Amino acid sequence: DLFAQQQAPSSGTTTMRIPPGGVGFLLLVLSFAFAQPTSGVLPPHARRSLNSGNGPPRNLQVVAEEASDTDVVATATNEPHAEQALRQQLLSNYDRGSFPFVTLWENQNGTRTGLPVELGLNFHRVLQVDPTSSVVDMIVWVRQRWNDPRLAWDPEQHNGIYKVNFWVADGSGPGGETSEIWTPDLELWNNAEPLAQTLVSTSAVVSSDGTVFWSRPGHVKPVCKFSGLSDFPFDTLRCTLEIGSWSYSGLYLRPIMLDGVGFSIGGSETAGEAYQEFDLGTVECEEHVYPPFVNAPLEDWPVVFYHISFQRSWQPYARGFVTLQIILNVFAFTCFWLPPHLGERMSLSITAVLAAVASELVVAAKLPAAAELTWFAKFSTVSMLFTALALIESAAVIYFYYLTVDDLVPSWYRWLERNILRKESTKPANSDEFEIEFEDAQETDETQPTDQENGHPADQEKDHQTDSIEANGRTPSLRNSVMFEEPPPRPSRLGSKVTLDSTSDEAPHEHRMSMTLARELSSFRTRKSIKTILGRDADDFKNSKEMANNHKWQQVAKKMDEASRLIFPVLFAIFVTTAFATAK
């Protein structure tokens, strides 16, 4: 053998036993080793292969060629302590709570601009868009890249190690107790929850030139100032994310778009949405700089804007609410074909109104209680207005169908005209006239003394009725007592008085007739009150004049229904067509 490796048991060192005549060959090997472009020392795994005592002897040139074909990763793997040594070297005297901005400014030749921090978001999936609370929940991958000169090294001096991972916990900034390096404190300014609580703690990859790349998956929950909600349910909501440094101004940190774009969408098999109300639409990234404060005129505040749009699935609302409103209006219009005397007509109209209100309440729960009107709110309001008008039309038709008066002048206006507008002075009564009140007529008749000695009040009342029959020549029934040719003077109000001439010879006989008439009128008022309470039929008329008046008003109700059958459906069809034409 050219070489033989012998282990010294006492010292733990390796000795070389060179055979006689091998001195020249040894010199040749040494000269070949010093002639390599490396530092003159073979890689460790090449030396082990050369010094191995197993197998046949190997040529030095073959061993050197095998060493040159081995990549840097294999070299670092074979040297597990090299990365540990590099980490210890980089983190010695390293302050993770600060950044050497002064050194950065010295390298900028006095310009003093902040550290560029490249920011990029990969939008993975939209979880929830809540317009009522103005909060959006998305799964994103937040990526940052910057340069830390304290973490740079020469790979040639560390067995070709080009990248090292450093753990960063508890979000950005100095981090928690387990964070190893400094990270910029970029924060979502319009956040519902801070990024430190919604993003996963991961390791940052540091390159040999000091470039740090930090990527974290997690949630982003911004509080959005939505726009486009006025077109609900055919709306596309737009929200803006604002990300920037919270502690450092533009003099220290300057966030910019990663690779000049600043965002990406998807990239994995699990990205995207399915069977959701909102889908991710478009994304735009923009750099913006806020002006300095008065007390710091050299420090502006740069941020990065992400303008995101969310497309709503309008089909469920069109099927469940818009179409339902149209159908309810059609049902409300069918009451125009029902006869007025059917009670189901009013029931159908009222049911259509209540169903429209219930549909509006269900949709209102999905929208914020705001002053702005949405497309659906306008559509629902006009739709309920049509159903309400159909209900009012039905009530008016039923009113005219049972009406029996001559005109539509209300009683309160007649009273106002009689007592205020046309007020007349009343004449005083003559002294030779006596007045009998209708309310006391029956009582006076009952207390009148009898002419016969053994008379009875009932017999006296019978005699009065007989006299009344003889005087009039017919039985004073309820209907006939009020339909004589020359009716007695009707009292203008309750408590009015009938005036009789006391000097006439027939005064006692006329007095008895007045008492009978008072009783009949009192009975008539009682029966009229009972009919008012219990109601009456459409053909239950007191005289032929009421029948003629009712026939006239029934014709009015009929014409109202005929006009409504045409006007309401046509106007509603025009409204629906216009509403869908203006929907975006």
Q: Which residue has the tokens 């009582």?
A: 443
Between 112 and 295, whose confidence is greater?
A: 295
pLDDT of residue 296: 87
- DSSP string covering 36-97, please? SSSSS---HHHHHHHH--SSS---HHHHHHHHHTS-HHHHHHH-HHHHHHHHHHHHTT--TT
Burial 218-244 (b: 16+ CB within 10 A, else e): bbbbbebebebbbbbbbbbbbbbbebb
pLDDT for 492 beyond 60: no
Residue 261 has pLDDT above 70, yes or no: yes
Residue 204: strand pairing partners: 166
% of the chain beyond a pLDDT of 70:
64
Instruction: Give me the helices (H) in 402-477, please.
Output: 411-416, 441-446, 457-472
DSSP code per residue over 88-122: HHHHTT--TT---HHHHHHTTTT---PEEEEEEEE
Q: Which tokens sit at 45?
A: 């795994």
Question: Across residues 409-431, what is the average pLDDT?
Answer: 70
For the packed helices 323-333 and 544-582, what is the interaxial angle rounded to 10 degrees?
A: 160
Using DSSP bridges, classify how beta strands 497-501 and 433-437 pair: parallel, antiparallel or unpaired: antiparallel
Which pLDDT score is estimated for 484? Answer: 37
What value does the mean pLDDT of the chain take?
76
pLDDT tens track for 158-168: 989 999 999 99
- CATH architecture of the domain formed by 317-414+562-582: Up-down Bundle (1.20)
Domains in the chain: boundaries: 109-312, 317-414+562-582
- Of residues 231 and 482, more confidence is placed in 231
Report pLDDT for 553: 94
Rg (CA), the chain: 53
Q: What is the pLDDT of residue 89?
A: 93
Tens of pLDDT, residue by residue over 564-577, are 999 999 999 999 99
- pLDDT attached to residue 97: 86
Q: Which range is least confidently modeled, 42-56, 110-124, 172-186, 525-539?
A: 42-56
Which residues, listed in sequence order, are joined to residue 215 by a DSSP beta bridge? 143
Is the model's pLDDT at 62 over the cut of 90? no
pLDDT band at 253 (very low <50, low <70, confident <90, very high): very high
Residue 423: predicted pLDDT: 64
- In this prediction, residue 104 has a pLDDT band, given cuts at 50, 70 and 90, of confident
Fill in the amino acid letter for 292: P
Which secondary structure element, helix H or strand E, spans residue 501, and what is its range?
strand 497-501
Q: What is the pLDDT of residue 259?
A: 94
Pick the CATH number of 109-312 from 2.60.40.10, 2.70.170.10, 3.40.50.2300, 2.60.40.420: 2.70.170.10
pLDDT-derived band at 537 (thresholds 50, 70, 90) equals low
pLDDT in tens, 438-456: 444 444 444 444 444 444 4
User: Residue 370: pLDDT band by 50, 70, 90 thresholds?
Assistant: confident
Residue from 217, 310, 212 nearest 268 by CA: 217
What amino acid occupies position 216? R
| For residue 41, pLDDT beyond 90 | no
Query: pLDDT value at position 312?
Result: 94
Across 91-100, 451-460, 461-470, the highest mean pLDDT is recorded for: 91-100
Helices (H), 313-365: 315-317, 323-333, 344-364
Q: Does 23 score more than 60 pLDDT?
A: no
Query: Please, which pLDDT band fits residue 497 given cuts at 50, 70 and 90?
Result: very low
pLDDT of 483? 37
What residues contact residue 300 under an 8 Å CB cut-off, 6+ apart?
249, 250, 251, 289, 290, 291, 292
Task: Give Cα separations from 152 to 148, 157, 175, 304 (angstroms).
Answer: 7, 12, 21, 28
